[in-house]
Structure 1
């Protein structure tokens, strides 16, 4: 039902059901207690009258038999009793009935049987003619220590039923009033409880349209208030990610445009049939280099896409660490000489092996070393070394370049993040390096101080030999 799809309706219904259940249980218990109280009063009244009558019989009428006393119409012992009186013989036959309607068959009701056993007893039954509820109480008649019969009093419970009807009516009126008031109050409480949720819902709906500048107002310091804070935090993070993504797209577009412009320019130049051989070779070399640069950027974007979608798979093998370091040294030495920077690769004896994806590991080292070169001035130092521990291997790339500010160091591994310096690129290199480290079961640790240098540690599990 649509009525109960809202939290407010369910809350109101819950409050109402709890109150109604409480009222029903309370009313049933109260009615039961009051009914028992009224019946006990009636029973005690009957017992009191019976006690007086049986005492009189034992004192003044015990010399004659019960049958003689009834035959002689001796009523001195029971005439002060109010209501319907019966005198029953030891065989259950009614010897006297004050109404004149003496049953012919023997009686065997619970109260009579208890009285014949020397106890007092009561029973409640319905009149056969009118269906009226009656209570009968009986006590033994004793003569010379022997039970000779039963004195029984019967009274109507009409008064008890009328009193109970009035009480039930008042309880019903009270219950209806309580339910009505509870319904109104529960609606108010539910509305107050739901109001901040409604506001959160509207805020979330606005955010769903792409507007992350809206702010959820925190109304209370509770779970809903915490949800409001979480929603605001989420919107702020999404807004930052959107800004980073837009910056990333702008940066990538700019980086792609530069080699494309160079290729386009040289292609136009080389179309001239008068171009000499030296210029032709120079142009073709530039086109080749710029094409390689474009391929590298496209490959980096493809890798990034695979990492984001979780489709990357490692092709692990045993890699000789010394050979890996020598490969990196041979590939980067020319750049170090060209840029007049000191690149040192520390190679020691018995560097061992590690079980990794060699191509991905090279990709990480090249990216980290490339970053160090970008942020290290002419004459600066970049070092690649290894620290072999018991449970892991640390591959360290360290420089004395410009460093990273404390505000940026926690963000540099985030997707799309781009630093504020002119050397910063598209913002996916370190993100890819971090993903590769995680896929190997390791981590990428970055330590840096502004204007003092940066130390990046690739920590991998020690699976070598």
Structure 2
């Protein structure tokens, strides 16, 4: 019983069989009660009526005389066996005209001698035939002188009840069989889609991310198939992004390493005899080394975020300090690239609880991207303000902008969009993670060919807030 199909069939079959058995038992009891109840009630009515008649109109007759009177007044159509018993339960006369002196000690006789209507359903001591007997008291001078007993055979009732019960059992067996067939169909409808999902999952585990599960029905399993297909599509998309990322990072790492190796070999072969060439080579090596360090740091940061090991060193700080440092840091780059850099910050402090170095990393990345994608003669505008308990910092450029199709994914990991410029595709993803760790949000708005605005919202520090330990 390891399979769902087998368990469904067995459990459903057992439950249905139990229900059918219970219903069959109730049906048998109802039929038995109806047949025997009706027969007993009719016999009690006839016995009581005839006994009352004899006690009323044969009041002065002794028991033997009453017995003969009863025998003379019994209808020829009477099918019940009639017996007259004395107070000792001895038969003094029956409807066949015999005095058998047989002693009957069944409960109905004892009840009749107590003045009640006695009823007995059981086997006859003589014939072992199943019978229904009803007894009523006969009186003489106001005392109980004997018993009038009616007896009929119960065998026809048992045969009728058993026959009906047999028909019911046949119907129950047909219901169980039909239910078994339906359970097979039901199990097939449930298990087959699950087997399809299992096969699709196996294919996906083997690396085939294009596999899809077939949605057969609009039910929970169908919803599961849709969810599985969505998961497969997302995994396939992430796998492609990962492969593109590996390819991109490999290229990004190869380029500076090639430059470093080439200039190193040049300097070695030149013997450091030409100072200008030596300085140029050392500058290139230093520049490419910085690029390598930046790539490695992004990879390390991403690894920390993925493993949940990134910890912030929070302290109460003025965000204006970070922005002033960046304005000075990018001033030379602004002159070299001929891109104007404007900084607008309020005169009052922008107090937040933050990690100075991590927040600086965020804005360095945002400004680096702004300068990278803004052509000569363009502008990079940095503004900061407090609004509704939030600090809002925007970095806007007049660069090439972002395609509308790329915009929803630009902060995703590994995503580089359609830009051909160098980069790992992790910068904005890391920035978003750092901002969210500070309890803030990062938004990107852009129009292709007109520029990009990246907005960072951070919570304002409370007046008496202190930095957490750890």
TM-score (norm 1): 0.89
Structure 2 residue aligned with 1:284, among 274, 282, 285? 282
1:207 aligns with 2:201: no
For the Cα contact (< 8 Å) 1:57–1:77, is it kept in 2? no
Q: CA deviation at 1:401?
A: 1.6
Name the structure 1 match of 2:447: 449
**TM-superposition CA deviations, 1:41-96 (whole Å, max 9, x none):** 321342354245325423542222336545x786334586544434345x664463
1:76 aligns with 2:72: yes
Structure 2 residue aligned with 1:156, among 153, 157, 162? 153
Correspondence 1:129-148 to 2 at 5 A = 132-141=129-138, 148=145
**CA–CA distance in 2 between the matches of 1:55 and 1:420?**
112
Name the structure 2 match of 1:5: 2
**CA–CA distance in 1 between the matches of 2:74 and 2:142?**
20
1:96 aligns with 2:71: no
**CA–CA distance in 1 between the matches of 2:219 and 2:174?**
33
Q: CA deviation at 1:320?
A: 2.2
Structure 2 residue aligned with 1:333, among 331, 334, 337? 331
Structure 1 residue aligned with 2:30, among 19, 33, 37? 33
Compare 398-407 and 269-278 and name the one that shifted more: 269-278
For the Cα contact (< 8 Å) 2:339–2:376, is it kept in 1? yes
Task: Evaluate the alpha carbon distance shift between residue 390 and residue 397 of structure 1 in structure 2; reply closer, same or farther with a 3 A threshold.
Answer: same
Correspondence 1:410-421 to 2 at 5 A = 410-421=408-419
**CA–CA distance in 2 between the matches of 1:129 and 1:382?**
119
1:230 aligns with 2:227: yes
1:323 aligns with 2:321: yes
Q: CA deviation at 1:204?
A: 2.0
Structure 2: 5+ residue stretches without partners:
464-470
Name the structure 2 match of 1:19: 16
Name the structure 2 match of 1:377: 375
Q: CA deviation at 1:328?
A: 0.8
**CA–CA distance in 1 between the matches of 2:427 and 2:410?**
10
Name the structure 1 match of 2:343: 345
Compare 160-169 and 200-209 and name the one that shifted more: 160-169
Structure 1: 5+ residue stretches without partners:
none
**CA–CA distance in 2 between the matches of 1:352 and 1:192?**
63
Name the structure 2 match of 1:303: 301
**CA–CA distance in 1 between the matches of 2:462 and 2:328?**
24
Q: CA deviation at 1:149?
A: 4.2
**CA–CA distance in 2 between the matches of 1:390 and 1:459?**
11
**CA–CA distance in 2 between the matches of 1:456 and 1:146?**
115
**TM-superposition CA deviations, 1:216-273 (whole Å, max 9, x none):** 3332333333222222222211111111111111111111111111111111121122
Query: What is the RMSD computed on CA atoms of the aligned residues?
Result: 2.8
Structure 2 residue aligned with 1:267, among 244, 250, 264? 264
**CA–CA distance in 2 between the matches of 1:87 and 1:142?**
12
Compare 258-267 and 418-427 and name the one that shifted more: 418-427
For the Cα contact (< 8 Å) 2:107–2:118, is it kept in 1? no
Q: CA deviation at 1:399?
A: 1.4
Name the structure 1 match of 2:163: 166
Q: CA deviation at 1:100?
A: 5.1
Task: Evaluate the alpha carbon distance shift between residue 113 and residue 456 of structure 1 in structure 2; reply closer, same or farther with a 3 A threshold.
Answer: same
Query: Aligned residues, how many?
Result: 458
For the Cα contact (< 8 Å) 2:54–2:66, is it kept in 1? no
For the Cα contact (< 8 Å) 2:109–2:147, is it kept in 1? no
